Amino acid sequence: MDDLARLFGVARASSNAAGSAAGTITTETPLIMATKIRGIEGMKHGELDFEIQRGAKFVLFQYCISVVILTFRRASDIYFLRQGENAVVKGLPFTLLSLVAGWWGIPWGPIYTIQSVYNNSRGGKDVTQAVVNSLRAQAAPPQAASPIPPMS
């Protein structure tokens, strides 16, 4: 999850007293990711490894929405694309959303819209390594702490 958090630049507010009082944000606290991975529903870990070895990948798409002077650039959920699936076609809804709703904010609307369309037309952002590292970290059993030797 930390790899994904660094990828998205996500952080949670600190829960310690000093952090709460100062209103600081820290990345040392555990992260809760709201990102969903689409396309792996019902797959077992072995099937997922097999598909990745065959060339499957995890991809993010960008989209942009503008309202007068406010422009929002966001990333989609993570999509799992098997070998042979066309990433450009999978990202087409986000590209169309950006083309229709992204232009209207001044000055960032046109800039973010062009970036989103460009990134999506190249197949989105490949985040396979970060997702695989995160999934492996979740699947690994927690390391047991070494016992404290008895005091004599």
Query: What are 67-111's pLDDT values in tens digits?
Result: 988 999 999 999 999 999 999 999 999 999 999 999 999 899 999
Q: What is the pLDDT of residues 16-71, one digit of tens each?
A: 333 333 333 333 333 334 478 999 998 887 899 999 999 999 999 999 999 988 99
Q: Is 76 exposed, middle or buried (0-12, 13-18, 19+ CB in 10 A)?
A: buried
d(CA 31, CA 13): 10
Does the pLDDT at position 12 exceed 90? Answer: no
**pTM of the full structure:** 0.69
All residues at 6 or more sequence positions from 26 whose CB lies less than 8 Å from its CB, including other chains: 11, 12, 13, 14, 19
Q: Is the peptide bond before 107 cis (omega within 30 degrees of 0)?
A: yes
Does the pLDDT at position 1 exceed 60? Answer: no
